[in-house]
Structure 1
Amino acid sequence: MGDIHAPFFPARGLYSSRDPHVLRHQFREMHDAGITLVALSWWGRPSPMAADSQGVNTDDALPIVLAAAEEVRQEKGRDDLYITMHLEPYPGRTISAIKDDLAYIYEHYAHFSAFLPIFYVYDSYHIPPEEWALLLQPWGKESVRDTPLDGLFIGLWLERDHGQALVDGGFDGMYTYFASVSFSFGSTLANWDDMAAFCRRQGELEGKGEEKQVGKRGFLSVLSVGPGYDDEKIRPWNKHNTKPREGLDYMDRMLEAAREARPDAISITSYNEWGEGTQIEAAKVGEWRCEGNWEGNSTHLAVRPYVYQEYKGGDPYLYLNNVKLWRELLWNMTATEDEQTINDKDEF
């Protein structure tokens, strides 16, 4: 019946994320809004076990997505649109499996000019730091450092002690991911100043020998913001984490908190995660649907009308335009600060 089990409805209608025409339009939108890096959910190499929660293998979409991104790069005549991976926790994900994943990714996708070897690792805390160190520390027995499988590895900071665990594991930085404020320690705005400061301190460490943690590689802070959160259509039991959008107010509070913390980058959760109500992609105004339920044992389907939510003022591009404004604001602010204090290591 056209129900997408989400609080909003896409302005472009129901679409496939494997449609090159749709992808090109989406990349144009993101590029025009100042988004330069797009992280794709990746659930591992092709196998019966490597699929998302809906049983969909994400790997076979990557060539289509990367090709569409490259077309937009050529069309724009610019090289500031990149694609990277959001490594998801598929069953059986181990250090050895991840090393094999990296070999597969580099073999199949490194030749795309749009590919950038930055790897966001979701639920990285499921693997202990001492195991991550075997892969990400220079001295680890399965280390990828200074090999063709090297890259920037950004782990999830969820709970209070995860920052140090990421450093110990050899990660290059952290991100917070969640768009529901206060869902976790990492998504609590009051903690962002201290978290970003922690990252800056780690980047200044100069350890020696096998104790070297970060040194000259630095330790990046990536704070994640979102427009709101509402996954009640797919997780009715999670209502307590719903965060109304309040027009632009909710997102602006997160962006202002991130600006004050001075991270290395800001990520947006999300561009098109419609099921969790975190999307900034254009939404249709006044779209109706019918919710149905069977009455007893009869074959009569009772339906009731439901109107999808819409962005404030009925502007489908409200959030993409807001991202563009903030991108220009932060870019100009950073350029001005760099001119004034070029040698200050703590600059945003």
Structure 2
Amino acid sequence: MSSSISNIVVEEKIIQTTKINSNVTRVVNEKDHTNAPIHIFYYPWYGSPKFDNSYYHWNHHVLKKWDDPSSIPSYSYQPPHEIASAYYPQLGPYSSRDPDVINKHMKMISSAGIDAIAVSWFPRNISDSEGKPWEDLTQIILDTAVKYKLKVTFHLEPYKNRTVESVYKDIVYIIDTYGNHSGLYKMKPKKIEVNKGSSFEKDAKDIAKLEKPVFYIYDSYLIDSLDWSKLTLLNGSLTIRHSRYDSILIGLLVKETDQLEILQAGFDGIYTYFASDGFSFGSTMNNWKNISEYCEKNDLLFVPSVGPGYNDERVRPWNQVNTKKRNGGEYYKEHFKGAHTARADIVSITSFNEWHEGTQIEPAVPYTDSITHPKHPYTYEAYSKEPEQYLHITLEMIKQYFTPHSKDIEVRLEAIV
């Protein structure tokens, strides 16, 4: 990184920075932190016999600890009564392919005042080890989201042999396929850069106002920052900048040193994902103020991830240290307060329906399974109030901390509920 002085334009003001090359002009959009968009991570990876010929993901196997040398096969859960979650969904162990489920999900999410879903995404014909490919669901998710005044962004998952070249192809595919859909989420970037003397320089302020698609990149640290820069920097060999595929790329912050890696990679922002406070540097709420200041200093979007709790003991029984009790919703409320205090640019919620890790705000019901193992019945965790408790808390927190943003919520809900 060069330490040369360069001009930055912030609306009509010109300030100086030591953070970018002297051959680059940067335009920065000022941000209203009381009006942060609200995104939520959404998983369309569940299967049931009616739509998929079998259960999947609900039957997730128990994961061994990384230092477990045993060759004993892991236990797989046996739906519908026994599922790989500490909670039991109000809709039962559903299929993500069920149009009625998709419809209900989008209605729930919109009724909670959320702006966009960040849908977990793999390329065509690829999935995680517990599921089946679901890229073909993207169209119906987009169509249904529009029905409920929602937008859709993408949470790009890691896969075998993922490289910056393959991610470039993923972005090209998504934008070529869905780029004109009215349900695709777009926003103005925090900053744009142009080469001095280029054809873009005279239009830089107008370019900065153009909205772009947003991509969260999970486990972005698995690819070296120098490789990422091929995609993100103006002169990169695969650059998306100022092209049809220009997008806002948000990298995952796990360790403290990832901050510099994300900056050097040329990402547009940082997100923290994990809903277990203290699990990682990024997910530790006490660090959010400093992370936010780092982002502000370097013109990065700060996207903390808030969550209602964490419990993955059904799939990682050895991970009790990271379990976080919901405390009747107080844990979730503290997360929202922390995101507001730290001046989030976007608030991401982990999650709508990651049932394995117990981070879901999707409605859950009290349930005891005395059928699968009659001698050892299992009672699932229950919310402290109604099944929709965390949808209600979400709307309450958005109204409390992001007031200007919530002005249109009541109008939107009138058309939905």
Query: Any idea what SS the aligned residue of 1:134 has?
Result: helix
Q: Please show how residues 224-303 of structure 1 align to structure 2 within 5 Å.
A: 224-284=305-365, 286-290=366-370, 292=372, 303=375
User: CA contact under 8 A between 2:232 and 2:266: conserved in structure 1?
Assistant: yes
Does 2:145 align with 1:69? yes
Q: CA deviation at 1:329?
A: 1.2
Equivalent position amino acid for 1:14 in 2: P
In the alignment, what sits opposite 1:327? 398
Equivalent position amino acid for 2:165 in 1: S
Q: 1:334 to 1:148 in 2, by over 3 A?
A: closer
Query: Any idea what SS the aligned residue of 1:52 has?
Result: coil
Partners of 2:163 and 2:233 in 1: how far apart? 16
Q: CA deviation at 1:187?
A: 0.6
User: CA contact under 8 A between 1:178 and 1:224: conserved in structure 2?
Assistant: yes
Does 2:178 align with 1:109? yes
Q: Please show how residues 155-170 of structure 1 align to structure 2 within 5 Å.
A: 155-170=251-266
Indicate which of 178, 182, 185 corresponds to 2:274: 178
Q: CA deviation at 1:70?
A: 2.4
Q: CA deviation at 1:333?
A: 6.8
Q: CA deviation at 1:188?
A: 0.8
Partners of 2:100 and 2:268 in 1: how far apart? 35
Q: 1:291 to 1:145 in 2, by over 3 A?
A: farther
Equivalent position amino acid for 1:103 in 2: V
Does 2:413 align with 1:304? no
After superposition, the CA RMSD in angstroms is: 1.7
User: CA contact under 8 A between 1:52 and 1:58: conserved in structure 2?
Assistant: no
Richer in helix (by share) = 1
Indicate which of 275, 288, 294 corresponds to 1:198: 294
Partners of 1:303 and 1:136 in 2: how far apart? 57
Higher relative contact order (CA 8 A, sep 6+): 2
Unaligned runs of 5+ in 1: 74-80, 204-218, 294-301, 337-348
Partners of 1:243 and 1:170 in 2: how far apart? 33
Does 2:103 align with 1:24? yes
Does 2:90 align with 1:11? yes
Aligned-pair identity in percent equals: 39
Equivalent position amino acid for 1:150 in 2: D
Q: Which moved more, 1:101-110 or 1:194-203?
A: 101-110
Query: Any idea what SS the aligned residue of 1:143 has?
Result: coil
Partners of 2:388 and 2:405 in 1: how far apart? 26
Equivalent position amino acid for 2:246 in 1: D
Equivalent position amino acid for 2:243 in 1: T
Q: CA deviation at 1:14?
A: 2.3
Q: CA deviation at 1:292?
A: 4.6
Equivalent position amino acid for 1:290 in 2: S
Does 2:155 align with 1:86? yes
For residues 170-218 of structure 1, give each alpha carbon's deviation from its aligned partner in whole angstroms, at most 9, with x where no partner exists: 1110100000111100011111000001111111xxxxxxxxxxxxxxx
In the alignment, what sits opposite 1:40? 119
Indicate which of 56, 70, 85 corresponds to 2:132: 56
User: CA contact under 8 A between 2:398 and 2:406: conserved in structure 1?
Assistant: no
Q: 1:28 to 1:90 in 2, by over 3 A?
A: same
Partners of 2:290 and 2:179 in 1: how far apart? 36
Q: CA deviation at 1:112?
A: 1.7
Equivalent position amino acid for 1:52 in 2: D
Equivalent position amino acid for 1:163 in 2: Q
TM-score by length of 2: 0.69
Unaligned runs of 5+ in 2: 1-78, 186-212, 408-417
Partners of 1:194 and 1:151 in 2: how far apart? 26
Equivalent position amino acid for 1:274 in 2: W
User: CA contact under 8 A between 2:399 and 2:406: conserved in structure 1?
Assistant: no
User: CA contact under 8 A between 2:113 and 2:406: conserved in structure 1?
Assistant: no
Partners of 1:42 and 1:55 in 2: how far apart? 12
